[in-house]
Amino acid sequence: MIPFIIRRIVSLIPVAFVVVVVTFSLIHLSPGNPAYTILGEQASPQAVHLLDVKMGLTQPLWQQFVTYVSHVLQGNLGVSLLDGQPVLSLILTRLPVTLELTILAILASLIIALPTGILAAYRPNTWIDSVSRLLALVGAAVPNFWLALLLVYFFAVSLKWLPSLGWVPLTTSVGGNLIHLILPVIVLALPLAAVTSRVLRGELLEVMRLLYIQVARAKGINEWTVVIRHGLRNALVPVVTVIGLQIGGLLGGVVITESIFSLPGMGQLVVNAIFDRDYPVLDGSVLFMAVVVLLANLMVDLVYAWLDPRIRYQ
């Protein structure tokens, strides 16, 4: 297992390098210049040139790339072109928001998906299954920005139960933190739960037909024990795969959700960096998020082995 983990972590390096090359090229080749963002309408060509020189943007692109990569290798992600803040500290102040949002969304999706998926599989083609299928369809089809505004309308504006935006750090107030995250977490969790629930239902139905389940039943084991302890454990492997695959998509959804709920996470950082052409911030954030996704997938692989001991890594 340990050599496998080491091999996987080493294999992150070329992937991360490709991410850096692609991000760097795309943002630098796209039209626009951060000097125009900073100088606004008052940008005369002379002022733009002076600022370009000051920001090191007049050097050839390959030279800027070499400088950037050599800095990254030394652990230096650079500073924001707009306000001079170190990119790493910008990321680290935002990362907890996005991580907490993502983790809670996955947990919430499991809380929804496990019972609905299991019940639907346990009673296939009954009203329970139909309701679960309908919920899953709606969950997967509703765009999350629309769902977000709908939830805000009901729970914040009409009922005034929950705040519609903002963020309280966990260290300041646990209750305040959680209450601000309820709506964004639901927005992110519902589509995820919809897919997970359907995958779980299908897989569980498949597993429940297998011989070892029939053996377990023949031994007179309680039906729920058969479903949960014998069936579910094996049905979870594809579910974990789906969650792993959805982490990338989830981070995409976080961008929109963070904007709507004004949460100071990575999503907002990336979006603003794109609009402002803040190259170092964008390069650094994308690299960081790519590494997070890669590590999450590594964890998914490890969870496989835990769920199904027959899976071995060479």
Partner 1 sequence: MASKTIWALAAISTLTLGLAGCGSSSAQSSPTSTSSSSSQVAQAPVSGGTLNVGIDSDFVTLNPAMSSALIDRQAFINIFDPLLKLSPTMTVEPNLVTHWTITNGGKTYTLFLRHGVKFQDGTPFNAQAVIYNWDWEMNPANASPRRSNLALVQSLSAPNPYEVVVNLKAPYSAFLSILTGRTGMISSPTAMKKWGSAYGLHPVGTGPFKFVQWIKNDHMILEKNPLYWQKGKPYLNKIVYTPITNPVQEYNALVTGQVNVIDSVPFQDVSSLSSNSSLKFAEKPGLGYADMELNTQAAPFNNVHNREAINYAINREALNQLLYFGHAIPAYTQFSPASWAYDPNIRVPFSDTLAKEQLVKAGNPHGFSFTLLGDNNPVTIQEMQAIQSELAKVGITMHIEPVDFTTLLTDAINGNFQADLLGWSGRPDPDQNSYAFDTTGGSFNDPRYSNPEVDSLLLKAREASSQSVRKQYYDQAAAIVLHQAPYIFLEYTPVIQAWSPSVHGFTVYPDGLMRFSDVWIK
* Sites of contact with partner 1 (CB under 8 A): 30-48, 50-51, 54, 82-85, 90, 93-94, 145-146, 149-150, 152-153, 156-158, 160, 163-167, 259-262, 264, 268-269, 272, 274-277
Smallest separation, CB 129 to partner 1 (Å): 32
Smallest separation, CB 175 to partner 1 (Å): 16
Residue placing its CB nearer to partner 1 in the complex, 119 or 251: 251
Instruction: Report residue 268 CA to chain centroid gap.
Output: 13
Smallest separation, CB 101 to partner 1 (Å): 14
Smallest separation, CB 140 to partner 1 (Å): 19
Smallest separation, CB 64 to partner 1 (Å): 18
For residue 164, give the nearest of 263, 271, 268 by alpha carbon: 263
Smallest separation, CB 253 to partner 1 (Å): 15
> Do 76 and 250 form a contact (C-beta atoms < 8 A)?
no
Residue placing its CB nearer to partner 1 in the complex, 45 or 220: 45
Residue placing its CB nearer to partner 1 in the complex, 80 or 132: 80
Residue placing its CB nearer to partner 1 in the complex, 46 or 74: 46
Residue placing its CB nearer to partner 1 in the complex, 3 or 41: 41
Residue placing its CB nearer to partner 1 in the complex, 65 or 145: 145
Smallest separation, CB 17 to partner 1 (Å): 27
In angstroms, the Cα distances linking 264 to 93, 207, 272, 280, 291 are: 9, 43, 11, 19, 20
Residue placing its CB nearer to partner 1 in the complex, 54 or 123: 54
